[in-house]
């Protein structure tokens, strides 16, 4: 897997996450300032999931450079899969929530529909990176990154050093 592909997908994931945070914050603010009700939980979920995604991206991209032994192949795969599940469940739940509204008009409704599209695009981006990481792990075997940080130099590519037994 080329590191240019991974870096491009990470940039797309980060951009979609920041956009999702902005739209979710707008919708939550609208509910808190314009209605007597608190914001629906699905909007709160869509505020938390992209924050977790940004933290995941930072961990997956910076750990191989600064602390190569702190990144385990299955941890990387688990984080990728976790974000995939978050976005899949999030955009399905939000689409269902918006479809059940009796009256949905105006910029808030448009922001909600945009959030569904952005979450679906994020889901696709996380599925692709999850598949690429899984392919590298299972094709190359489980290897810990070397002291030189080969994952950091080539993306999430297993190194030649054998994995330490725990």
> What does each C-alpha distance from 7 to 11, 56, 80, 89, 156 come to in angstroms?
6, 14, 14, 25, 11
- Whether the Cβ atoms of residue 142 and residue 162 lie closer than 8 Å to each other: no
Confidence of residue 151 (pLDDT cuts 50, 70, 90): very low
Q: What percent of the chain has pLDDT over 90?
A: 64
pLDDT in tens, 97-123: 999 988 788 899 999 999 999 999 999
pLDDT in tens, 14-42: 999 999 999 999 999 999 999 898 899 99
pLDDT of res. 162: 44
Q: Tokens 């997956």 belong to which residue?
A: 60
């Amino acid at each position: 897997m080329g590191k240019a592909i991974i870096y491009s997908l990470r940039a797309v994931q980060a951009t979609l996450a920041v956009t999702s945070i902005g739209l979710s914050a707008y919708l939550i603010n609208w509910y808190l300032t314009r209605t007597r009700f608190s914001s629906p939980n699905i909007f709160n979920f869509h505020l938390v999931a992209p924050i977790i995604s940004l933290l995941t991206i930072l961990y997956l991209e910076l750990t191989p450079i600064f602390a190569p032994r702190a990144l385990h192949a299955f941890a990387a795969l688990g984080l990728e899969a976790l974000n995939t599940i978050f976005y899949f469940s999030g955009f399905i739940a939000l689409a269902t929530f918006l479809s059940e509204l009796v009256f949905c008009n105006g910029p808030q409704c448009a922001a909600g529909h945009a959030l569904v599209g952005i979450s679906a695009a994020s889901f696709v981006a996380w599925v692709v990176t999850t598949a690429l990481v899984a392919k590298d792990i299972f094709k190359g075997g489980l290897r810990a990154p070397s002291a030189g940080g080969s994952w950091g130099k080539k993306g999430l590519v297993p190194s030649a050093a054998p994995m330490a037994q725990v």
